[in-house]
Amino acid sequence: MTSASRPIVVRARWIACGPERVLEGASLVVRAGRVERVLGRRARVAGAREVDCGDALLAAGMVNAHAHLELGALAGLTPRGPDFAAWVRTVIALRARASRSELAAAARAGATRALSTGTTCVLDIDTTGAASQALARHAIRSVVLREVLDAHDPTRTLAALARVRRPLRSSGRRREGLSPHAPFTVSPALLAGAAKLARERELPVQMHWSETAAEVQWMESGAGPLAALLGESPRRSALDLLEHVGLLGPRISLVHGNLPSRGEARRLAQRGVTLVHCPGSHAWFERQRWDWRGYARAGVSVALGTDSLASNEDLDLRREMRLASAAQRWLAPEDLWRAVTVAGAAAAGASTQLGRLESGFSADFLVLPVVAHSARSALEELCLGTAPVSEVWVEGQRVAGR
Ligand SMILES: [Zn+2]
């Protein structure tokens, strides 16, 4: 039997197969990088290599649904607080000064930090090409969302599209996606072109949406502080534009959603759009309480992201869950765990491969030592505790810890 086909049986006191299913005393049978079966703790599999994690919880590797890893090169250099325009100016100036190798090194370091804290897949916005290069050879899975924008300047539209027309070669665990930056920085023509590419190549798409009052005002009326910086406003809501180009559906995830208009939450839910919230970044800009409850009542699937180290202190999704919980006491551990696994996997276009430990899913998981007396307390420790993850596996191989 070759080592690739030789099964591995990983045993642990607790296995979280998904947000609503935590088993006591179970084994994962892993073969060729996938979960073949979930069995009882004492199950035997002929010829298998045995790994006993003891008093620990095994849970699916988390999916960071929004990051800009290359901006780790700017950590500690950007302003904190509500002046978003000042923050954007600083980021643009500092990023222009950073070398490609500095940006790539930051992306690599960020990916390693994310992986060591239990994130096995990251949806990363790639603005300069540096992160894509860094992630091609990293153990973490990634969806490199190549950014396009033209600032509503028609002379930039074709060049923006040309940049992403050639597919990114799939490499290692890196996959390709597309990110029209935001409705106020992407013209309707560029959005239509990006939608066509995404459809043809079946790519996941991600877009920033409804982050500030200024962008919402300019989109809908052409007025406000952005009027002097941008060309002609489309005078339509972002969701109307996305609907018009055929992008308002499960293929797209929208990031932020700080200021939804009436009825927009329901519209996202009806179309199967994933909404990404970044609690650490939200706190960085001192934004008002995010309306998770309103989105949840409307039936919107919410994923969590870290955003970047230019507006956050860490790339650890367990910290994001703790921050979300502190701001939204009503959230149950199951809600938080769904956000960092199942919802993130949907945003990655990988709902049947990532985010759960069930037959057929990738054997991507974390190991957390826990002293728990119930499935509930094991899940609480995972979502709200601070004890570090001891091991991380991707595709049936240990890639961090021990
Ligand atoms: Zn972002």
pLDDT at 88 exceeding the cut of 80: yes
Average pLDDT of the chain is 95
* Residue 19 clears pLDDT 70, i.e. is over it: yes
The verdict on residue 136 lying in a domain is yes
Please check whether residues 125 and 139 belong to one and the same domain. Answer: yes
CATH of the domain at 178: 3.20.20.140
Q: How far is the CA of 256 from the centre of ligand 1 (A)?
A: 8
Residue 311 CA to ligand 1 center (angstroms) comes to 9
Q: How many C-beta atoms surround the C-beta of residue 41 within 10 A?
A: 15
| Distance from the alpha carbon of residue 229 to the mean position of ligand 1, in angstroms | 20
Instruction: Show which of 329, 347, 365 is a domain's final residue.
Output: 347
Residue 26: CB atoms within 10 A of its CB come to 21
The reply to whether 198 falls in a domain is yes
Contact status, residue 163 vs residue 201, Cβ threshold 8 Å = no
Cα-to-centroid distance, 278 and ligand 1 (Å): 9
Q: How confident is the model at residue 4 (pLDDT cuts 50, 70, 90)?
A: low
* 82 lies in some domain: yes
What is the 67 CA–ligand 1 centroid distance (Å)? Answer: 6
Is the same domain home to 47 and 119? no
Confidence of residue 80 (pLDDT cuts 50, 70, 90): very high
Q: For the chain, what percent of residues have pLDDT higher than 90?
A: 93
State how far Cα 203 lies from the chain centre.
15
Contact 271, 340 (CB under 8 A): no
Distance 360 CA to ligand 1 centre (A): 32
Residue 197 is predicted with a pLDDT of 97
* 131, part of any domain: yes
115 Cα–ligand 1 center, Å: 19
Do 18 and 86 lie in a common domain?
A: no
Q: Please, which pLDDT band fits residue 1 given cuts at 50, 70 and 90?
A: low
**Ligand 1 centre distance from Cα of residue 394 (Å):** 25
Burial degree of 263 (CB within 10 A; 0-12, 13-18, 19+): exposed
pLDDT digits (tens, 9 = 90+) for 280-335: 999 999 999 999 999 999 999 999 999 999 999 999 999 999 999 999 999 999 99
pLDDT at residue 340 tops 80 = yes
CATH code of the domain in which 50 resides: 2.30.40.10
The total number of structural domains in the chain stands at 2
Half-sphere exposure for 150 (CA within 13 Å, toward CB) = 23
Residue 207 CA to ligand 1 center (angstroms) comes to: 8
Do 210 and 163 fall into the same domain?
yes
> Do 67 and 212 have their domain in common?
yes
pLDDT exceeds 90 at position 75:
yes
- Quick check: helix, strand or coil at residue 391? strand
Does 52 fall in a domain?
Answer: yes
- Dist CA 367 CA 311 (whole Å): 28
Take residue 131 and report the two structure tokens written for it.
């992160």
Cα(374) to ligand 1 centroid in Å equals 37
Beta pairing partners, 84 = none
Residue 3, pLDDT score: 59
Residue range(s) defining the domain that contains residue 396: 8-61+355-401
> 388 and 315 in one domain?
no
Q: In this model, does residue 170 exceed pLDDT 90?
A: no
Q: Is residue 371's pLDDT more than 60?
A: yes
The Å distance, Cα 271 to ligand 1 centre, comes to 22
For residues 34 and 181, state if they share a domain.
Answer: no
- 77 SS3 class: coil
How much distance in Å is there from the Cα of 333 to the middle of ligand 1?
A: 25
Answer yes or no: do 296 and 147 share one domain: yes
Q: How far is the CA of 68 from the centre of ligand 1 (A)?
A: 6
- Between the CA of 361 and the centroid of ligand 1 the distance, in Å, is 28
303: phi then psi, degrees, rounded to nearest 5? -110, 165
In a domain, 18, yes or no: yes
Residue 3 inside a domain? The answer is no
Please state, as a whole number, how many other Cβ atoms lie within 10 Å of the Cβ of residue 171: 15
38 and 149 fall within a common domain = no
Distance (angstroms) between ligand 1 centre and the Cα of 146 equals 12
Cα(8)–Cα(3) distance, rounded to whole angstroms? 10
Looking at the structure, tell me whether residues 181 and 83 fall in a common domain. Answer: yes
Q: What is the Cα Rg of the chain in Å?
A: 21
Range from 3-12, 47-56, 96-105, 315-324 carrying the lowest mean pLDDT:
3-12
Ligand 1 center–CA 128 separation, angstroms: 14
Q: Residues 130, 277: one domain?
A: yes
CA of 232 to the centre of ligand 1 (A): 24
Q: What percent of the chain has pLDDT over 70?
A: 99
Distance 208 CA to ligand 1 centre (A): 6
What's the CA-to-centroid distance between 213 and ligand 1, angstroms?
A: 16
Whole-number Å distance, alpha carbon 206 to ligand 1 midpoint, is 10
Whole-number Å distance, alpha carbon 376 to ligand 1 midpoint, is 33
How many angstroms does the Cα of residue 178 sit away from the middle of ligand 1?
13
pLDDT score recorded for residue 2: 56
**Ligand 1 centroid distance, CA of 390 (Å):** 29
Instruction: Give every strand in the sheet of 62-67, ordered side by side.
Output: 62-67, 119-126, 141-148, 174-180, 205-209, 252-256, 274-277, 301-304
Centre of ligand 1 from the C-alpha of residue 154, in Å: 24
- Is 1 inside any structural domain? no
- Whole-number Å distance, alpha carbon 306 to ligand 1 midpoint, is 9
Report whether pLDDT(337) > 60: yes
Q: Are residues 226 and 308 in the same domain?
A: yes
Q: How far, in Å, is the centroid of ligand 1 from the Cα of 6?
A: 41
Q: Judge whether residue 402 has pLDDT over 90.
A: no
Give the model's confidence band at 229: pLDDT under 50 very low, under 70 low, under 90 confident, else very high: confident
Q: What is the DSSP secondary-structure string of 13-67? A: EEEEEETTEEEEEEEEEEETTEEEEEEETT---TT-EEEE--SEEEEEPEEEEEE
Q: What mean pLDDT is predicted for residues 16-37?
A: 96
* pLDDT-based confidence at residue 43 (cuts at 50, 70, 90): confident
Cα 221 to ligand 1 centre (Å): 24
Element (H, E) at 123: strand 119-126
